[in-house]
Chains A and B, each alone.
Chain A
Amino acid sequence: MSRIIFKVNGSTHTVDVEPTTPLLYILRNDLGLQGPRFGCGLGQCGACTVIINGAAVRSCVLPASSVRGEITTLEGLSSNGKLHPLQQAWIDEQVPQCGFCQNGQIMTAKAMLDKNPHPTDAQIRETMNTTLCRCMSYYRVQTAIKRAAKAIAAAQPSSAKEVLA
């Protein structure tokens, strides 16, 4: 066992675990977070996705000892009680069926939009392609991503819009 310090959603936590423990179990079982979820344990489905240094990372295959940087989970997306535009778009488009995979859908989309605020349909399909949904909510997920991208662009100050243009 060894003591590992994590910064998650703005708070710092110290956990005493085996260094090889996948991050997912620490987030869920030690820090009480329930956004990232166990789907496959193989990094294939995306249900466990968190964001580290701007990248969507599959926490079920990431050893605790190799985490470098602050972790953002689904719980950390809203700010000042206001949902992230992606979360709002998910509600507006009524995306989920059972909803179990939606953490992965939202977090993967967040990392994508942060890097590429105006993805094309093809880029959305490619970037999201390995984030699986067994209820097949994909069509709505893609619609919601486009809706969120528009909302984010509309919320930018006008100078920023010009830069983006």
Chain B
Amino acid sequence: MTPYTRIPKRVEKTLATHRRDFLKSAGLLVVSFATGASADAQSSAAAQVAGPYSELDFRQLDSWIVIHENNTATFYVGKTDCGQGTGTSFRQLMSDELDIAYDQTTCIMGSTDNTVDQGGSGGSTAMERDSWPMRRAAAEARRVLLEMGAARLGAPLDQLAVSNAVITVKGDPSKRATYGELIGGKKFNVKLTGANINAVTGVAKVKPVQELRATGQSPARYDIPAKVDGSLKWAVDVKLPGMVHARNVKPPFACARLTGIDESSVRNLPGFIKVLSKGNYVAVVCEREEQAIRAARQLKTTWEKPATAPFPASENLFQYMRTATATSSSRPIVEGNPESAFADAAKIVEAEYEVPFQGHAAIAGAHAMADPSNDQMTIYSNDMKSYGMRNGVAAFLGMPRDKVRVVWMEGPQGYGRTAADDAGCEAAWIASEIGRPVRIQWMRDEESAWDTKGPAFLVKVRGALDTEGRLVAYDYKARSCDYNHVGYNEPDTVLIAQLMGSRRAKPAAGGSATPSEMYAIPNRHMVGEVVSLPAVWETPLRTGNLRDPNGPQSTFASESFIDELAAAVRADPLSFRMKMLTAATTDDTGFRRARSIAVLRSAAEAYGWEQRPSPGPPSKGNILTGRGVAYAFRGQTIVAQIAKVEVNRQTGHVWAKRLVCAHDCGLVVNPQSLRHTVECAMLHGLSRAIHEEVRFDTEKITNVDWLSYPTLRHADVPERIDVVLVNGDPNPNRPDLPPYGAGEAALKPMLAAIANAIHDATGVRIRRVPFRDDRVLAALKAARV
């Protein structure tokens, strides 16, 4: 049993109900839900409760913490959990600051009407940024409770001790008061300060890390039991009285113009209710789910093709990107005098790398349930940015924001700006049109085709080596296909808005990326450019944030290239990197250089790295074995990875037999959750390295299911994965040691680590992602391996 389930279910329900009553009495008509145990209450209550759904005041302590009469606490946080166990970690940190046992707490996340707006998830900010206001609020609650305790017990503050939510007088343990006795069921009524939610603070200071107790332990994630016994109610499980089912009818190709709908093709189907259409957006509504699926497939529509091709076919993508005129360019990062350094070089190495569009490819289609009761709109969604969805839907429908709420529930994650955003607006629009609760879900082909993509990258790198084999100049130029990058829950760029004709006057510029390393290279020139496809609206090749949005692409290029340089001077690739890290004498405020050295060293030790140049000695037989290293940082988190691969000479198949990751994200809140997050992010990187590529002809995506868009499978999984948690801070015991982000960083170097290992095994350099069997085999044959 986990600590979460040790709290009897009826208590869980009480906790949730309690807040509802509590906030009602405070003049806020708010319904509170926990996922799991009290989720049943969620859907039944939802239909009855009217708004308005005023925003909670993040400068009120009561918005963050409720202490119950039974001496338990509920934490309310404005975050969502994409499956990394952040809720458990928040509870650990807040329990520590409040001085209450972890087991006596619960955490409620992400619904817009009962939690403050911390933005949901994104950017690996859970621990790094958003845990701070939570900690400070909990510390302030402890301070206020101690003051109340001092008054109740008639003892000065310095004579009080507190442990597990019980305040005692030092030397006289008979004098005691529990938090529940002091404030249970009542409001703190304490104002917090801070210019914005990230700066929220009370008077109290947070504890030094040395005094944290639950933090650094690994309590089991509270959300897992209900996920394995079938009791969790997910966003896909919400049922409401009178609900109907909708399915989209997507345009058959990009930039298609709808010219006709033959409603008679579906009118007589069982359960048919309505075809809805506006602009190029079409949806079918039926009584039952399978009826809506059938009707959407059967509806006859006609479409007109655009005059010019919306994009080049995927096999011509990189040639197109090479010759296109850039729509924008970053300000170049120039250090030293790269031009003269290249002119004086003993050796120049050049290479070009290609990363195709890759998908979020969530395991299930985007979905949402929208309830238009009481002239308001409630959306049940797994969108990781529930607060943004509330704002986006309100703007899209032209409703006041306090008439819209998003109830966040668990769902299939895709790590970034997925079509969950689009489905939320679609469900809300259809519900507002027909006046009934509507559930919509995207089908597999729809999801694979129309979900936003991680941008394709083309990266050219040049390096100048001196006679000592040192990298003295570096020239990096990346081009990403990212123009009109779609943001989160934007009412004018969600797909339904685009299909209805919305056009932003100035499309988002999009972004590129430069390398994320701390190498001492005396002369550098680095720039990132963006190019645009011919069509940028109503196209399935729309880009949106995908886990560490541009990091895996740029790091594939930069860290592959470092290996190419090391190979050019017959240097051990790990020592080559280490020399460039140790050559510098200065560091940044986060000690990223010192921590990079520690992380690379830890990875090498864990792997048992033997110094030698790549490629290794030629292997005999069909299976060629090699090892590869890559390193990067994301924000302040440092990651070094070593992969051992087997390459089948006859089939070209690559198997990563062993993976090692050394990871430094500062203060570790829950080591087990962190290890699992890192493992899974590494495998996500491996999937993108060896399998994933969105393919298309000149008008549509052509790989739209799991057979044609393969991702990592059980058979691909390494035999062994080692995750080493490093704290490379030069002063690891400093009292303010902060936690940094961990949701994305471990994906970043993986593509390069695999490419480098393939080179080590075969002597063949693969500069194009993914390293599919046929591509590797062709490269081996071309090199006569």
Contacts and interface: CB of A to CB of B under 8 A. Distances in A.
B672 A94 contact: yes
Nearest to A137: B680
A47 B364 contact: yes
Given A35-B230, A139-B679, A100 B224 contact: no
The majority secondary structure among interface residues of chain B is: loop
Contacts of A99: 83, 223-224, 227-228, 232, 410
Nearest to B713: A129
Contacts, number: 174
A37 interface: yes
A129 B715 contact: yes
Given A40-B705, A44-B707, A94-B224, A128 B230 contact: no
B531 interface: no
Contacts of B677: 97
A44 B363 CA distance: 11
Contacts of B755: none
A97 B413 contact: yes
B290 A98 contact: no
A140 B723 CA distance: 13
B290 A136 contact: no
B335 interface: no
Given A98-B413, A140-B676, A132 B83 contact: no
A18 interface: yes
Contacts of A45: 363, 706
A101 B363 contact: yes
The majority secondary structure among interface residues of chain A is: loop
Contact of A37 (B228, B364, B718, B719): B364
Contacts of A106: 228
A116 B365 CA distance: 33
A6 interface: no
Interface size class of B (residues with CB under 8 A): 35 or more
A136 B676 contact: no
A124 B672 CA distance: 24
B644 interface: no
Contacts of A90: 224, 228
A98 to B, nearest CB: 3
A106 B683 CA distance: 20
Contacts of B290: 18, 21-22, 25
Contacts of A111: none
Contacts of A33: 230
B237 A34 contact: yes
Contact of A103 (B220, B230, B679, B715): B230
B413 A44 contact: no
A98 B410 CA distance: 7
A25 B289 contact: yes
27 contacts: A18-B290, A22-B290, A34-B230, A34-B236, A34-B237, A37-B236, A38-B364, A42-B706, A45-B363, A47-B363, A87-B229, A90-B228, A91-B2, A94-B220, A95-B228, A96-B224, A97-B84, A98-B82, A98-B413, A99-B223, A99-B232, A128-B714, A129-B715, A132-B713, A137-B676, A138-B683, A139-B718
Interface of B: 2, 82-85, 220-221, 223-225, 227-234, 236-237, 239, 270, 288-290, 293, 361-365, 410-414, 441, 443-444, 672-673, 676-677, 679-684, 686-687, 705-707, 711-719, 721
